[in-house]
Amino acid sequence: MHVTRRQFTRTSAAALASAAFAGPLTRRVLAQVASPVNWRRISDRARAIEGMGGNALIFAQGDDTLLIDTKIAVGGQLTRDYIQTGGYMVTQVINTHHHADHTGGNAWWKPDTPILAHELAVPRIRAQRDRYDDSLKRRDPNDSAPPIELFVPSDTTNGETELTIGDEKVILHHFGPGHTDNDIVVLIPGENLLHTGDLCFNKMHPFIDLDGGATTKGWLAAVEQCLKLCDERTIVVPGHGPVTNFRGLELQRDYFNALRETVARAVKEGRSREETYKLPIPGFEDYDSPRGQAMALSAAYIELTGKSD
């Protein structure tokens, strides 16, 4: 029987749903075999969900469950099924920023779950329906994204905000422009857990979205602020890459210092744009993706010189 990817995804979701009634081993095997998203237990009450976009996080306390970020659009339904099969009823969603690999599943939560994001994320989400559409069309050219209103957060903040999940305090911070102009980091003090959104790309070149309001200077300052929220035991969930601790943030800080110094020196030495984009970033030569490296160098070059491509 020929099975399209769409059917496969539905079948996978159905398999996962039935896994709710299976034993723990069956459930574990099914989850590994059938799904492109993967649970990672990071504490008693928290699970990271990896795959299909930025790292999402589930935090459950009492009758409440918080979901941070909703992955790419094509993973929206699947992730929702997956979370519910895991026995969680999500009562609050937070978007760490507007990018479509963190907000693409919003449409599958919005009808019955509040979604909170920075107010500056809203116009950017409204303007990126084509990104949600593209994600779905890659699986099925006949598919299309739900109405954009379903992706738009139901609630917004412009800075420091506190929520209660169960009886646990959840604190949102906005440290100004960094990865975008609408980054939110989420601290759960009782769990000593910090979700940084894309202010941390752990062990990979970061995506510096100048059009989305990014600045390497602001990003560096935001990482310093994140470090102040951490002690040696804090669990740090980055936007991309493996779950880490304060060292992942220190590495991100060191990366931006090295990147900015490399570009500043190149400009001072009168190197061309093309030469600059090929320079190694000292200490980070082992990071994969020459394209990611060139993109980071070019973003820093444009920021430091004020000369766009």
Instruction: Please list every residue from 194 through 213 that binds Zn ion, using CB under 5 A.
Output: 198
- Nearer Cβ to Zn ion, position 50 or 198? 198
- Nearer Cβ to Zn ion, position 196 or 293? 196
Candidate list 71, 80, 99, 124; residue touching Zn ion; CB under 5 A: 99
Instruction: Please list every residue from 37 through 76 that binds Zn ion, using CB under 5 A.
Output: none
Which listed range, 74-82, 141-149, 191-199, 224-232, lies at the site for Zn ion (CB under 5 A)?
A: 191-199
Closest approach of Cβ 104 to Zn ion, in Å? 12
Instruction: Please list every residue from 143 through 162 that binds Zn ion, using CB under 5 A.
Output: none
- Nearer Cβ to Zn ion, position 165 or 214? 214
- Nearer Cβ to Zn ion, position 34 or 120? 120
Closest approach of Cβ 57 to Zn ion, in Å? 15
Closest approach of Cβ 128 to Zn ion, in Å? 12
Torsion of the alpha carbons at 41, 97, 95 and 198, rounded to the nearest 10: 0
- Nearer Cβ to Zn ion, position 165 or 259? 259
Contact 114, 93 (CB under 8 A): yes
Closest approach of Cβ 212 to Zn ion, in Å? 8
Question: Per CB under 5 A, does 131 bind Zn ion?
Answer: no
Q: How many Å apart are CA 83 and CA 92, to the nearest integer? A: 13
- Nearer Cβ to Zn ion, position 47 or 99? 99
Contact 115, 102 (CB under 8 A): no
Closest approach of Cβ 125 to Zn ion, in Å? 12
Closest approach of Cβ 22 to Zn ion, in Å? 35
Amino acid identity at 280: P
Contact residues: Zn ion, CB under 5 A: 99, 198
